[in-house]
Structure 1
């Protein structure tokens, strides 16, 4: 249930999260499902830039990104390789479309755990552009991306190759920008948006995706009938998948950056409506789990023995979840993967009991 406004803003995620390497079992899983492919360039290749310039946003304010440049020989190699990676990401490696594509810019962000590069691809014929990201392959982020693909309403494309992770660009209005410029502009359907934030909050908690502050998700606005709009909130940062120890770090409602959204929920939705929307989202997650139950169980079995957090954080989270749900089964969990599996069983139990095959498989 949503808390009162005075209880918001008292939590912060860890200042620096370590990179967890992709182990052999996870690597085999990625190969099986077409995520692990050979790439012509690696993350470490992009680190060989000669200098960088601060990148400003459209309003002229400094951003967290820097545009990087390379010497000519390095640039020629990277340009061809990055266009090929874009083709692998978008057309399964069909290079027949690459002759009219070029790399317009490479940006680097030292802020955050993955220190990503953002690749700007441009169509030389019509000047249309697209982006994708190259990051360090962190197991936490890979688990988060895969769970997003399987359990959320969004499909997502990403690729790995050894220590390199390639992610598609997720379009949308950044949450912090939406809160500042559009939430109260008179055009936003506040009640529909409040409903979506409740559902997003529930999705994150059910699969233990943490640190969903407003700049770590985007808003998709879709025109609907009667000149109205529908809203979808999409996570864009997944390296805090089941890492933190505090339960509230997996609930976006508790971050001070999300207070404008929480205020809208508390003002426009009653408790019964909030409970209804939470139940709707859990039901939809159950349907998604049913449709891909064997793949989800395979992923969770790998997570069960994965080293993706510290003992202290695992112990804290299992105690807080056990106390929250009054469920002792959390106290038997020894890894974050086991906590994710138990969390899914606990929160989706009411829906799962109506699907006997899924229930028996999930309880193995």
Structure 2
């Protein structure tokens, strides 16, 4: 389980939303007609750097819009928030106002982060406006179907709206919270094992510590933890199997070391099996939706032939299973992952 310096493509292309995927999104109520889109937010005069609380550049910028566009943008963003949170019921934004629009210059999708505030009590929330990327949307759908987490997002042509996923960023948690004496280290290690297993099955890549959050839930006799992905840019694109195993990223070494310190081989395998059983339950309950998603994604080009060829070979070696060599797409690999889980859990 030793981490290594995993190399991934920094220039993954953005794949457009196809008519077939758009039809799928409409069927499962992910499509929404929005009053403004991603490109509308790109039209700003200038921007200024936003510093974090330590005075360092956060890599987010504050765009400055012309005065004659501000009201239209703010009203449109409130309608988007109502669509995201309440199926378009505008009563939920009656007492809310747009407090901040921030633009990220880092990463593939260059998202806008919107802060909306309730003027009655100053409670605020965030949501994101991004350029729609088909592979990212497939990642969000697989997260909804195969993980224990629910994701809330909407798509309108070239625009993707995502709900903010609350939690402590994984790198911050590792630095400031991981060794809190009130936290049971075995529970954290167990959750990382399960997260690692899900990422490989779903082919969700680049889960470095800053691309996931840790959610903490006090229970009646202990504290529970859950690791949640917050970045789906690297969904089944890369050909290197290590990209889909969080244990191999050096940024996650603190979690890996905790696992090695706290878990035996027997308990490690036990937690893997628990996650496989949970995955099987989700597959059975969402089998029709999963089939629809498979049928759509198998018609699209979302990576390169070289990446597919490399990954199916590495998956075959990792699992000692030559069936992977017969896969023709990333979707085929995920489907074989699921079939193998079904066979293993039934044994």
Q: TM-score, normalised by structure 1?
A: 0.93
Per-residue deviation at 1:50? 1.3
Question: How much is the aligned-residue C-alpha RMSD, in angstroms?
Answer: 1.2
Say how many residue pairs are matched: 347
Task: Please state if 1:341 is matched with 2:327.
Answer: no
What residue in structure 2 maps to residue 330 of structure 1?
A: 324
Contact 2:143/2:150, CA 8 A, preserved across alignment: yes
Distance 2:214 2:177 in 1: 11
Distance 1:74 1:57 in 2: 28
Aligned-partner SS, 2:8? coil
Per-residue deviation at 1:212? 0.2
Per-residue deviation at 1:31? 0.5
Alignment of 1:76-155 (within 5 A): 76-155=71-150
Per-residue deviation at 1:124? 1.3
Distance 1:60 1:225 in 2: 39
Distance 2:73 2:189 in 1: 44
Distance 2:5 2:105 in 1: 26
State which drifts further: 62-71 or 144-153. 62-71
Task: Please state if 1:62 is matched with 2:72.
Answer: no
Aligned-partner SS, 1:286? helix
Per-residue deviation at 1:48? 0.4
* Structure 2 gap segments, 5+ residues each: none
Per-residue deviation at 1:14? 1.0
Cα displacement string for residues 278-324 of structure 1 (whole angstroms, at most 9, x for unaligned residues) = 00001001101100101001101111121110111111001111122
Per-residue deviation at 1:184? 1.5
Per-residue deviation at 1:58? 2.5
Contact 1:303/1:338, CA 8 A, preserved across alignment: no
Aligned-partner SS, 2:210? helix
What residue in structure 1 maps to residue 178 of structure 2?
A: 183
Distance 1:254 1:129 in 2: 36
Per-residue deviation at 1:239? 1.4
Per-residue deviation at 1:13? 1.5
Contact 1:211/1:252, CA 8 A, preserved across alignment: yes
Q: TM-score, normalised by structure 2?
A: 0.98
Aligned-partner SS, 2:36? coil
Cα displacement string for residues 82-125 of structure 1 (whole angstroms, at most 9, x for unaligned residues) = 00100000011001232211110001111111110001001111
What residue in structure 1 maps to residue 223 of structure 2?
A: 229
Task: Please state if 1:305 is matched with 2:302.
Answer: no
Task: Please state if 1:292 is matched with 2:280.
Answer: no
What residue in structure 1 maps to residue 246 of structure 2?
A: 252
Per-residue deviation at 1:59? 2.9
Aligned-partner SS, 1:209? coil
What residue in structure 1 maps to residue 315 of structure 2?
A: 321
Contact 1:159/1:167, CA 8 A, preserved across alignment: yes
Cα displacement string for residues 117-136 of structure 1 (whole angstroms, at most 9, x for unaligned residues) = 00100111111110000101
Distance 2:302 2:79 in 1: 32
* Structure 1 gap segments, 5+ residues each: 355-364
Per-residue deviation at 1:74? 1.4
- Displacement over 4 Å in runs of 4+: none
Contact 2:280/2:341, CA 8 A, preserved across alignment: no
Cα displacement string for residues 257-277 of structure 1 (whole angstroms, at most 9, x for unaligned residues) = 000000000011000000000
What residue in structure 1 maps to residue 274 of structure 2?
A: 280
Task: Please state if 1:214 is matched with 2:209.
Answer: yes
